[in-house]
Amino acid sequence: MPDAIEVRKVPIHSVADASELAKLIDDGVLHAERVVAIIGKTEGNGGVNDYTRIIADRAFREVLVEKGAPADQVKQVPIVWSGGTDGVISPHATIFATVPPEDVTPSDEPRLTVGFAMSEQLLPEDIGRTPMITKVADAVKVAMEKAGITDPADVHYVQTKTPLLTIHTIRDAKSRGKTVWTEETHQSMDLSNGCTALGIAVALGEIDMPSDDDVMHDRSLFSSVASCSSGVELDQAQVVVVGNAPGVGGRYRIGHSVMTDALDQDGIWNAIRDAGLELPERPHTSDLDGRLVNVFLKCEASQDGQVRGRRNAMLDDSDVHWHRQIKACVGGVTAAVTGDPAVFVSVSAAHQGPDGGGPVAAIVDLG
């Protein structure tokens, strides 16, 4: 049986700041050697060359080592950064740590559990194709096992980080006589995320195994729990599975839903309800009563260029990429629900939730 989980959200005061993590450890809320995953937002451009992710990664790992966690262990901790805090989204991190068994009150009620795995190496020629789907699906199953989850229905959030294509990796593939799905590095961000989401959906039985032709084309194929991010930091799929399991104990529980479009506040409220909070029919931020830890969303501009029958210009805008526009929009909608701009809203949601919408996961403190 996996250990119970303590989860806390902390602000990031500057690009290289991890002081709030240090404070949690100093105050005895978390143990440095028990941190098992960190998921956060950094304030860079969210693109291929967003190095704020690397800076934040280094800052948080250095604090863990400084506070007593073994350096070799810290290197293996999955830390997933989503770049870009467009609009009102505030830089922050959500930290997951196991709780010593002697500090946990046992419970048969389903409570938060986390599992982690790394896939086989993803070659540049794999990205966007079925070998990537298979490798990701295999890693998801390993992470589920580590989380103590046997029923895919108990998985409510799968956060991944995968490689995208760069000029260097494209050149490497060509030098070995291989082809790549695209030579546009920014487009490869959407591609890597979408293909990864299909791997998650296959692992959880949400869809059958798709073909190469389905990737980025058949948007009816999606996962309702996938949250996929990509960058230049690694050459494997880093997979964090978050769900509920009976017997682990602890105070926290996770639930999920989907936003059907960029304005779907009900999708966010439904995820919070699914996590276990009782809410009135027309809820208000005050009904959360400080019990919402965080929400995690993916968003995507609808392929038809419309929201609720009204056209928008995001996909035609040559000045500001639609990634930044939809992220700012959904970030504002989400903060209006939660009352807190420190929300995890990430863009590039191909095959993650319905077209124009996206998955929502919510973690609540049940006391």
Active site residues: 161, 229
Q: How many residues does the chain have?
A: 367
CB 324 within 8 A of CB 61: no
CB 348 within 8 A of CB 231: no
Q: Of 328, 326, 341, 327, nearest to 285 (Cα)?
A: 341
Q: How far apart are CA 204 and CA 208, in angstroms?
A: 10
CB atoms within 10 A of CB 273: 17
224 CB contacts (<8 Å, ≥6 apart)?
A: 206, 256, 257, 258, 353, 359
DSSP-assigned letters across all residues of 35-82: EEEEEEEESS-SSTT-THHHHHHHHHHHHHHHTT--HHHHHHS-EEEE
